[in-house]
Amino acid sequence: MAAKAGLGQNVLVGDRFAVAPGAWGPDTLVGMMSDERDIVIVLGAPNDAAGALSAIALARARRAIEEYRKRPGCNVLLGGGFGERFNTTSRPHAYYVAQHLIRNGVSGDDIVGFAEGSNTVEEAVLARRMLENHSVQRIYVITSDFHCQRAELIYKHVFAGYEVMVLGATARLSSAEEAERRRHEAEGLRRIREQGGVIIPPILDDGRGSHGT
């Protein structure tokens, strides 16, 4: 199969990725959606210095595969770029998730792009920009169970006017890590409440307004 037009250095050959590091930019939608599609968005999570996915990332990937199989014809958009706390490799986190999904039966042709953000708000804004000129039926956001409440606030604000469902994945974590993750989420929710809603940083704001509920 020939490479898809518009991929540049990123080549999809059947179900095999050959991706030049960093070549697939955060604002590039590869798959051309000619009809209304369901979109599965998988939020970014940690990987190690060799690109191996963490328990959290693997749990999200498993849930994404389940949803993909339930919804023939859907497309998949992957979140996760670079960050000191979750990915210090030369490739975006989304690249490693894509490799895992393809090895587990997701067609490379159905993975339409990477939203290479460093946090949930960035990923949501980049995903919106990538999808807004295409026909989208429903959006299924895949994240961790402990992250669902905050992710729902963010995605329903950024994707106002879309049908958005946030689905949680459960990872096996130590009690200490589970407690820390839940503490972090509680703090994030507290900040959203105190500032009166979700705020899009000026560098990302495209004029739709910064606040939401």
Which class would CATH give 34-194? alpha beta
Q: What does the alpha-carbon distance between residue 115 and residue 151 come to, in Å, rounded to a whole number?
A: 15
Q: In which residue ranges of the chain is pLDDT below 50?
A: 1-26, 32, 208-213
Cite the DSSP H helix spans in the chain: 55-70, 93-103, 120-131, 148-158, 175-194
Whole-number pLDDT of residue 206? 63
Structural contact between residues 110 and 75, judged by C-beta atoms closer than 8 angstroms: yes
pLDDT score of 17: 40
20-36: buried (b, 16+ CB within 10 Å) or exposed (e) per residue? eeeebebebbbbebeee
pTM value is: 0.82
What is the model's pLDDT at position 61?
98
